[in-house]
Amino acid sequence: MKRISISRRTLLRGSGAAVALPLLDAMIPAMTASAATVAASENLKRIGYVYIPMGYNPVHWTPQGEKLDVLPTSLQPLESVKDQVTVITNTDLKNAYPGSHATSNSSFLSAARAKRTESSDYRSGTTVDQIAARQIGRESQLPSLELSMDLLSTVGQCDNGYACVYQNSLSWSSPTQPLPAEAHPRLVFESLFGEGGTAEQMQAARSKRASLLDLVTTEIKRIKNRVGAADRNKIDGYLDSIREVERRIQLAEANAADNPLPDLDRPVGVPASYAEHAKLMFDLQLLAFQGDITRVVSFQLAREASTRTYPEIGVPDPHHPVTHHGNDPEKLEKVAKINQFHVSLFADFLKRLSETPEGNGTLLDHSLYLYGSGMGDPDAHDHTNLPILVAGGAAGGMQGGRHIKFAETTPLSNVHLTLLNKVGVPLETFADSTGTVDDLFDPVTL
């Protein structure tokens, strides 16, 4: 039997474009295995982290039992994917104390103690996403992808004697090297599918074409002539998704030209709606995973101490002042609404992943995401009983639809260590970890 075989690293190249492809049957060598078998053997090779700021209202977040039969108010948007979600309560970040916004953010993925400084001699710890990137990101186009929603241009001292970098950067490649996060969908899109150049060169190229995919039309036809009908459908679906994301970016840029009023929280040229901006950033993550452009993502869904308002959900008040609730029922209700809104954006993304076939399952089956905050009670600025969700991972034995409540306060680093091990990064310890969370996965797969 003869069969066309295409490398998993195949790119559709054009002048200024390099478009990756999703997993195709034709990428599996003839007479060896099916795409489903290969995907199953790889199990979990992707991991993502989503950060929400300023804690939560636990009354509307915490499930009552060990199963997610009835979701609390803030988690109700997860209903359609709850069988692939586990809620974890009673974790802490001891090294985030003394409590602050800066240390909530900097310790979330590092579990390290930030050096208190207002200058450039800052120091934290290497974050779990970067530890994963060194191992599972080596073969992908981008070892990792760092995203945010807000402009992070503030410098100097931001919070209680801590340099702004601790709030600006979720990911650190070393204890002294914070990584900048990108909030502009256009720039993320170009990093995923463009071949670089200066900003002026990329702008000139965009002005000469309607779509980046116009640059690879010949390559698209060539590759589709080499594969079967099922693979052609996969290619068409993936390219349609790329084109739709690019269309939405172009629309946002056009609207910005018509309405040039600046927004201090938002880069120029992004959707005016916070939800639409977030959905674009999530869709870019989906495309990056689907094309195996990267296998590691961190995403700051909102910035610590953000004063963003959410009038679309009935919270016109700035986020940060609301979280200093003083047990005021009205403020606590608004915190819960913001929590639910952020969860709804994540839930929409998980649903999209669950609807994207890959091998013998879905993109969600073959990915792991950790969602949460480095702060528990925002009024107290504490770092205990954190809001934490883990999603996906069915291909690695992830057992969803559950609520794991530790009997004793447990380091968040235990969760980090467990997830690292599951995506192929074998470590015995991480930061202040005391062990792994064995209940998180099917014991047979551990």
The predicted pLDDT at position 158 comes to 76
Find where tokens 């599996």 sit: 28
| Sign for the pseudo-dihedral over CA of 363, 365, 370, 372 | positive
Q: Read off the tokens for 301.
A: 């869904």
Domain locations along the chain: 43-183+270-445
CATH superfamily placement of domain 43-183+270-445 = Alkaline Phosphatase, subunit A (3.40.720.10)
pLDDT of residue 196: 55
| Phi, psi (degrees; rounded to nearest 5) at 347 | -65, -40
CA distance 8 to 65: 43
Measured CA to CA in angstroms, residue 69 lies from 63, 78, 84, 337 at distances of 9, 11, 13, 21
Show Cβ contacts of residue 183 under 8 Å, excluding neighbours closer than 6 positions.
147, 148, 149, 150, 151, 152, 266, 267, 270, 281
- For 124-148, the DSSP string reads ----HHHHHHHHHSTTSSSS-EEEE
Where b means 16+ CB within 10 Å and e means fewer, 217-251 reads eebbeebeeebeeebbebbeebbebbeebbebbee
- Rounded distance between C-alpha atoms, residue 361 and residue 382, angstroms: 40
Count of C-beta atoms within a 10 Å radius of residue 409: 11
Q: What is the pLDDT of residue 390?
A: 98
CA distances from 23 to 27, 36, 38, 217, 259 (A): 7, 10, 10, 20, 41
Give the pLDDT confidence of 192-215 residue by residue, as tens digits. 998 655 555 555 555 555 688 888
pLDDT in tens, 370-383: 999 999 999 999 99
Asked if residues 63 and 403 have their Cβ atoms less than 8 Å apart, the reply is yes
Residue numbers in the chain where pLDDT is lower than 70: 1-4, 29-44, 152-157, 195-210, 257-267, 443-446
- Collect all residues with Cβ–Cβ distance below 8 Å to 20 and sequence separation of at least 6: 10, 11, 12, 141, 192, 193, 291, 292, 293
Distances (CA, A) of 116 to 103, 177, 377: 9, 16, 22
